[in-house]
Amino acid sequence: MEIWDGYWEDGSLANKDLVRGEPIPNGLYHMVCEILVRHIDGDYLLMQRDFRKPNFGGYYEATAGGSALKGEDKITCAKRELLEETGIQRFH
């Protein structure tokens, strides 16, 4: 079960947990991160989505990302998602 922190529209913590797959109450949001990877030579990383994905399987995408887990800040979320989706551990 994946649990997220709930946030109000102004970005303040709502002190309410949200569970992936369950409806999100009106007025609550959760944090997501998207990372665009640019190499030092100026090239950008493109990734091909798994063909088994129900939405846009086999298509290419330019970002790695996903939902912040409960207690994660935006930098921790970005680092974790980048590692999970690309294997990249170090960046500048």
The pLDDT score that the predictor gives to residue 90 is 80
> Is residue 50 in some structural domain?
yes
> Is residue 33 in some structural domain?
yes
> Is residue 67 in some structural domain?
yes
> Is residue 92 in some structural domain?
no
Give the integer Cα–Cα distance in Å for 82 and 76. Answer: 10
pTM metric for this prediction: 0.85
Reply yes or no on whether the pLDDT at 4 is more than 80: yes
* Assigned token pair, 25: 């109450």
> Is residue 69 in some structural domain?
yes
Reply yes or no on whether the pLDDT at 7 is more than 80: yes
What is the domain range of residue 75? 3-86
> Is residue 49 in some structural domain?
yes
> Is residue 91 in some structural domain?
no
Give the integer Cα–Cα distance in Å for 79 and 64. Answer: 10
Number of structural domains in the chain = 1
* Assigned token pair, 27: 């007025």
| Stretch 63-70: mean pLDDT | 96
